[in-house]
Structures are given as structure tokens and as C-alpha cells.
Amino acid sequence: MSHTQPLVELRGFTAVDPRSQRVLLDDINLTVYPGEQILLLGASGAGKSTLLDAIRGVVPHSVPLNISGECNVAGEPVITRTVAQLSALVGNVPQDPHASLTLPLVEDEIALTLENHGVDPAEIGQRVQQLLQAVDAEHLIHQRTQTLSGGWVQRIATVAALAARPRIVLADEPTSMLDGAGVASVMHILTELTGTEGALILVEHRLDELADGPGLPERTVVIDGGRIQADGATHQVLAEHAAELEANGVWTPGGQIPDFPPPTTHNTEPLLCARGLNVRPVPQAEVVVSDVNLEVHPGERIALMGANGTGKTTLLMALAGLLDVEGELTGRQPVMVFQNPEHQFLTHSVHDELRFGLDRDDATETAVQELTATFGLEHLTELNPFRLSGGEKRRLSVAAGLLAAQHRSEPTILLADEPTFGLDRANTIVLLEQLAEHAKNGGAVVIITHDQRVAQSWATRTIIVNQGALV
């Protein structure tokens, strides 16, 4: 292997944010050869996404960090090539798949990548079909991208990134919104398309599902505080650094969530009541979920589960009063945390986002400061919400939702669409504790999740959505 030219080589690579002087990457030394598949582990904010951005040239070409040291891709310095030139070599499956979709139709989205890389037009149609088949999405070929569920967006974003067969694939949590079948198909296409000539660098929190299904990459690199702490065979790194990883809040195979005690329930009036609800994503569309009968009582922690595309998000938005519905929906107005955190950001700083719409009194300010510290956002208060990492955006969106729900005149329901996606173990547990606290204080929480551990350890009730019905 030492006679083969590395596909990726970083030597003493350091990246510093010029505004805050925060060191994001510190003296990184990393070599990746053809045929290698690497699992990149680290807590939220450890530097994983910044490292991937450096390899694909986004740092420093688009994100102007102060850099030193070397970062070479296929033998040439990243600094000498544009992001567009590097994209022929480096495929990127982004942490936020919604951000990478640009065209109205699924087939056009994938064809665009092929056209941009000069694939013969006569081949494009067949290649699009093959790629969609690889992730069990051929039925979506003529679908509008804006109507896709988060899980299907993730699958489409993955095949679009891989369509031109790049030699290096960077995948930043490509399974965070997927059901079990989706995890298997996306991991299959990632490993198949990189093969022996390419390389895969994978950031992932859902290690149990990978270990039980497609299998973990053979090599693992651990990054903490912008420095590489470990690099070696996966089984060895996980064995030798298990305690350290757990202490840093990183998910490891078999990592558990503590059990949450059941609420002390009384015979109380429901906070929300749905009767015979038929739900459409947009007017005149087909009914996605039909005949919903549901009561949500104070103290409840409900997990809404089901395969990708079954209508979970549409149902949650209907319960929030954001869609026109047929049937009866009564009770208190819930607070909604969207699947994509950016869809709810309204201000230009973390400080203002947390206070938006709240009374400016001492009690509110105390509550905001406490939750800011609890969610580990205190060092980010002056930053624009859109500049945060994926995990930081998620924590901010849930914190803002909790504050809005807590400051209603009477207890209400918090509806949260995949609130734990993109979070490490430590932040997942903190977030679930705060959601449970809201339910304990007379409110209720309904979340969408694909994580069985969350449903088993945290939820008081699990509802499965299947074929357009609650089962």
C-alpha cells in the first residue's frame, strides 16, 4: 500500500477561525489510500465537518479560515484548485441533505451532477434509473423534490453526490434520517461505489445499526478538540478508547440511553385531541395519513415511528395547525420544532433566536441563560444561527422550541421532528432530559425518531405510522 499514491494527505494541517481565533483543526496528520474506508468519530463540535470541508476545498475557498500545513488530494494541494475542480474527484454527502437539493424533480437533481461532469447525454437516463434503484427509490423518479420526506431527501442527496463516481466520498451522517432499510441501501451504495480504487470517509453516530447490518469501516479515526486522538483498526480503537469516547459523549456500539421514569399520571383532560383526521401535505393532494384518532395527555412522551415517506412529518405539521385538515382537531396550540432547523430560524444571532417572541423579564432571561448553558450554546451566542454546525443548529432549534413552549400561559405540547438527529450521545441524553422535564411540568412531547433506543428508554408511548394509518 505504501507504493500507492495517497488519495488524501494532510500534514500538520491547522485551521483557525480569524474572527473568534478558535482553533478548529490543530496539527492534523492523516493519510488515506485507495480502497480504504474510514469511520471518523468525535463529539459534536470536535472538528469532523471542518476536516471534511478542508478535504473538499470548501476550507479555505468558501469558508475563509486561516490555514497552515498541507492538504493534498490525489497528489495536488487543495489550495491550487477550485471547489468545482475538486468536485470531479471528491463527492460530498452533506450533513444537511436539504441544502444540496436545487432542482424541482428528482430525476433532474441526479442528472444535473452527471451533466456537470460531462457524462454522455445518451447514458444519463439509464444511469439515473440505476442509481435510484440502488437505494430503492426508482418510484420517485418523476417526483417533486419539495414533496419528499426527510429520509427520501437523504437518499436522493446521497445518490446525486455519488452519481459522477468520484474517487473520494465524504459522507457526513448520511443515515441520520433513515429507517433501517434506508441505512442498509445507502451504506451499500457508499461502499460499492468507492470500491478498491476509491476511498470513503464516513461521519456517523448510528454505529449499532452499521455494526448489526452493513458492518463498520475497518479503520477508525477519533478527533477531539480539533486534534486526532486515535487512528487504527476499528475494533482496536473502539476497544482501547471506549471509556474515553463514552466520557466525551460519543456514541459507541452498544451505547445506551438511561431509562426515564414513567410520569405520575392523573386523570386529566387531553392537551390535544384529534378525531377522524385526514391529512394532506398540500391542498388537493392525496390524503397521506387518514382517520387519525389521537389524544395527547399531560406528562406524555410519545415517539412517532415508521418507515421513510409514511407521512410522519405531515401528521406532525397537521397537529401543529400548519396544514388544513379534514376532521376535528381541538386543544391547545402546540409548539413545533421542524425537521430542518434552518426552517425555523428568524434572527441573526443565537442570542436573539433564543429570545424571539418571549417577554423580556428577569425570569425569562434566567430561563434562557440556564437552557443556553445546558445545551452548550453559551460560546456561540453572537454567531449567526446559519453558521453553526449541524449538531449546534439542532440543539439551538430544540432549545428555542422548549423556551417558546415553557413560556406559554398554560402548559402545551412540544412537537419535534427528529430532534436527536446529528447529535452525539451526550447531547442526545441532555436533550431528552429537557424534553422529559417539559412533560413532567404539565406539558407533553411528541417526537419523530428512527432511533429504537430513544423509543424504548425515553418514550411513554410509541405510535407507528404505516401505510397511511396509525397502528
Q: Where do the domains of the chain lie?
A: 8-247, 272-470
Residue 413 CA to residue 120 CA, distance in Å, equals 53
**Among 36, 15, 21, which Cα is nearest to 78's?**
15
Q: Which bin fits 288, alpha (ψ -120 to 50), beta or left (φ > 0)? A: alpha
Residue 315 CA to residue 322 CA, distance in Å, equals 10
Residue 443 CA to residue 415 CA, distance in Å, equals 11
**Among 181, 202, 197, 86, which Cα is nearest to 135's?**
181
Using CA atoms in the order 321, 323, 326, 330, what is the torsion angle rounded to 10 degrees?
0
Positions in the chain short of pLDDT 50: 1-2
| Predicted local confidence at residue 237, as pLDDT | 95
Question: Domain 272-470 is of which CATH architecture?
Answer: 3-Layer(aba) Sandwich (3.40)
pTM: 0.80
Question: Domain 8-247 is of which CATH architecture?
Answer: 3-Layer(aba) Sandwich (3.40)
| Predicted local confidence at residue 1, as pLDDT | 46
Report the residue count for the chain. Answer: 471
Contact 367, 406 (CB under 8 A): yes
**Among 228, 201, 229, 233, which Cα is nearest to 12's?**
228
Contact 205, 199 (CB under 8 A): no
CA dist list (Å): 59 to 29, 82, 393, 422: 16, 11, 20, 21
Q: Phi first, then psi: give them for residue 383, nearest 5 degrees.
A: -80, 155
| Predicted local confidence at residue 378, as pLDDT | 94
